[in-house]
Amino acid sequence: MNVTEMPTPQFNQLLSAAPDEVQKRIFPYLEETQLQLGAVVYESGAVPRYVYFPTDCIVSLLYVMEDGDSAEISVVGNEGVVGISVFMGGESTPSQAIVQSAGHAYRLQSERLKEAFNYDADMRLLMLRYTQALITQMAQTAVCNRHHSIDQQLCRWILLSLDRLPTNQLSMTQELISNMLGVRREGVTHAAGKLQDEGAIEYRRGHITVLDRPKLERLSCECYAVVKTETDRLSPQPASG
């Protein structure tokens, strides 16, 4: 896939799996957008005017605390949508959505998704099953934060990101990763150094290349597998046509 070209809406799994009738209704209103690294998709407490369906970008849901410390709650790629609070009925959420890996997404006016959600039972099921996968991810993040080492969490984080990208390379500084994991930058340096020594990854100034994915999976805690399995289970079957 040439990342400078806008992929079609089918690259987002939710849009792709949406019922035909819903596709007819909302596809005309989808707007192609390019999301820059670090862009804030929505702010904490704000009512999002648009929801975003990523195709080749990654958006992180982040909670930023009063003292500026932060922690990633979950991550959204082309398997999902940013802005579930729109159809969950709460409008806003206390978290923030920021672009973790630049790329493209389709945006849609919140109201249009809400309509489709209320109008079509299949669409609703699709969105709710995705939401449940997201819930699993948040729950597992809580567990992981409690019990696992930075090393393990870094593995989990890289793998989750990798699953949402077409390449085996992440463009991320250790500083940014540390913000996501909610740890010090030095901690990430240390963990990444170990992974490099082990030959699992290679990195240089803002770029991580995964060399040995199986090794990364072995070094990760069980949290990655749990999230992955549950996300797959709850994902729509790839459209046969």
Applying CB under 8 A, the residues found at the interface with a copy of itself are 61, 63, 65-66, 69, 71, 73-74, 85, 87-90, 93-95, 118, 121, 125, 128-129, 131-136, 138-143, 145-147, 182-183, 222, 226, 230, 233-234
Structure tokens belonging to residue 225: 């597998």
d(CA 57, CA 43): 18
Q: Counting contacts by CB under 7 A, is residue 183 touching DNA?
A: yes
* Distances, alpha carbon 88 to alpha carbons 21, 83, 124, 142, in Å: 21, 9, 10, 21
Q: Select from 189, 194, 230, 235 the one that contacts DNA (CB under 7 A).
A: 189
d(CA 106, CA 117): 17
Q: Which does 239 bind (CB under 5 to 8 A by kind): DNA, a copy of itself, none?
A: none
Shortest CB 149 distance to DNA, Å: 4
97 contact partners, CB below 8 Å, separation of at least 6: 40, 41, 42, 52, 59, 60, 61, 62, 76, 82, 83
Nearer to DNA, 12 or 100 (CB): 100
Instruction: List residues near DNA by CB under 7 A.
Output: 149-151, 173-175, 182-187, 189-190, 192-193, 196, 203-206
